[in-house]
Amino acid sequence: MRPLIVGNWKMNGTLALVAEHAAALTAAASALAVDLAVCPPFPLIAPFAAQLGRESPVRLGGQDCHPEAQGAHTGDVAAEMLREVGASLVILGHSERRQDHGESDALIRAKVGAARRAGLTPIVCVGEKEAEREAGRAEEVVGGQLAGSLPDDFAGVIAYEPVWAIGTGRTPTGEDIAAMHRFLRKTLAARFGAARAGAIPLLYGGSVKPANAVEILKTAEVDGVLVGGASLVSDDFLAIARAALLARFAPSG
């Protein structure tokens, strides 16, 4: 599988940043044998799509969607709307949504269904808090999130983002990432069968930077990364994409 490098801009970015990134990513993307995607805030998706143009290999995504296709839900955005303005992906169940908006596994599962209905690829985020890891409960927590957030017909991407590694500059050890990704693959295989589970890209997210990207991307069962802060700097985001290629030739960690 080609490495998948996704930028999550969170609540950051301007039209000027969109123009800069669209030009930089377009120039670099065709020479890079990786899949590149950017998830900007909702208002920036349409202008980003316009700047990239129809033929661009760079994909766009939303950072959330509502389970329903339309209706009286002030402030929410439907998966169909994301699709119409140029998104082909949507991040769901990010820990900041789980934390700031009290999103439950059941709600996230409903949103995954909405993504499928609209033809969007969901990127479902899971990850333990620091106290949960310290209590030896990381796999139990992540396993519970997987069981609750994924519908039986799941097709999409999983992102493992330990909450304590997001925006902190701290990352798990390579062995801890490998162990969790092995656990994810095994848990998905038990539910969906080995063939379907093997086709689900497993991303790591949490303080991915150009300096640690090769190390992380060469880890067993890591198929790509979900990048927050570093994705806002186009040179850094592209350095991470190049790291995915270097990781292919690095001794496995």
Residues with a known catalytic role? 94, 161
CB of 117 vs ligand 13P, minimal distance in Å = 24
Q: What is the DSSP letter of 165?
A: G
- 8 near ligand 13P (CB under 6 A): yes
- 205 near ligand 13P (CB under 6 A): yes
Q: By CB under 6 A, how many residues form the interface with ligand 13P?
A: 14
Residue number of the CB atom closest to ligand 13P: 228
Cβ atoms of 36 and 3 within 8 Å: the answer is no
Among 228, 236, 237, 240, binds ligand 13P (CB under 6 A): 228
Angle made by CA atoms 92, 98, 100, in degrees to the nearest 5: 120
CB contact burial 154-193 (16+ within 10 A = b; e otherwise)? bebbbbbbbbbbbeeeebbebeebbbbbebbbebbeeebe
CB of 226 vs ligand 13P, minimal distance in Å = 5
Two tokens, residue 243:
């790291």
Four-residue CA torsion sign, 89, 94, 98, 101: negative
Among 34, 180, 200, 208, binds ligand 13P (CB under 6 A): 208
Would you say 158 or 192 has its CB closer to ligand 13P? 158
Stretches 17-25, 71-79, 161-169, 187-195: which one binds ligand 13P (CB under 6 A)?
Answer: 161-169
Q: What's the CA gap between 234 and 24, in Å, rounded? A: 7
- 161 near ligand 13P (CB under 6 A): yes
Binding site for ligand 13P (CB under 6 A): 8, 94, 161, 166-167, 205-208, 226-230
